[in-house]
Structures are given as C-alpha cells and as structure tokens.
Amino acid sequence: MKIKQLITGILLSTCALSVSANTAFKEPSDAIKYRQAAFSMISVQIGDMGAMLKGKVPFDAEQFKMRANNAAALSKMPWEAFYAGTDKGDTSALAAIWSENEAFVKKAAAFAENADKLALAAQTGEKAKIGKAFGAWAKGCKDCHKQFKD
C-alpha cells in the first residue's frame, strides 16, 4: 500500500504522462476523445466558478466547493491521454506537446497542483483567498493553450 502510494505520488508529480502506449485506451482516437471530454468538463467548472466570483450568479459556498473539487479531480485527468501516437486525428493538440514535452508536463503538473490549492481554498469559504487561488489556476488555461493547442 505504501509503495503504491509512493508510486502514485511520483506518477502525479511527473504528471502521469506516458510517452509510449497507454493500455487504458484501445485506439488513439479514444484517448483524444477522453482528453477533450475532460477539458470540456473543466470548462463547465471554470465557467460556473467564474460567474460566481464575478457576481453574475449568486456566490454559493457549497456549490463553489463542489465545483473546485470537480476541478481538482478533472485537472489531473487529460494528461495520461497525451501519449505518443495521439498527435494525429481529430485533435487540436500541437506537435510541440511531444517535441517540448518537458515544458508541457511542467505546465500540466502546475495546473493540477493549482487546482488542488483551489479546492483547499474553497474549503475556507473566504472569498479573497478563493479568488486568488482561482486566478492562479485559471491562468494555466491560456498559458498552455498558446503554446500547445491549435
């Protein structure tokens, strides 16, 4: 159990990006669909949290917590689906993901970490803290897309 946790920790800290194959997926197209689905679910979380923070919809601490927990889980999910051979097909992933893989993995890991911090901040119910953590996490989208997404 301890070894398993250790391995899980190492995998997460290097962001579980398998460079070769990933037997969880049958076809590269399945992996592409999977990561796109994860991003589309992430979008729903960020949209609702952003609307609450901007006052477009009433701030609901419980709902925000739920969104932030979803975001924390989802922010760890797309990365394993970026293995070699998933660069072609119905995807807007740029080749730089594989040619500059270290930078991509670093951004993905920071993004996942910032989502964990957001989930922790959401527990406090303190809007100033939450806003700051949200900003740090949300910055990661554009920061990655401009370099790695078409």
Q: How far is the CB of 111 from ligand HEC (least distance, A)?
A: 4
Rounded Cα distance between 138 and 136, Å, is 6
**Residue 119, C-beta contacts closer than 8 angstroms, at least 6 positions apart:** 65, 68, 69, 71, 72
**Residue 6, C-beta contacts closer than 8 angstroms, at least 6 positions apart:** none
Please say whether the beta carbons of 101 and 55 come within 8 A.
Answer: no
Q: How far is the CB of 75 from ligand HEC (least distance, A)?
A: 7
Q: How far is the CB of 73 from ligand HEC (least distance, A)?
A: 13
Comparing CB distances to ligand HEC, the nearer of 1 and 90 is 90
Comparing CB distances to ligand HEC, the nearer of 41 and 61 is 41
Comparing CB distances to ligand HEC, the nearer of 6 and 143 is 143
Interacting residue ranges for ligand HEC, rule: CB under 6 A: 32, 35-36, 39-40, 42-43, 46, 91-93, 104, 107-108, 111, 138, 140-141, 144-145, 148-149
Comparing CB distances to ligand HEC, the nearer of 83 and 148 is 148
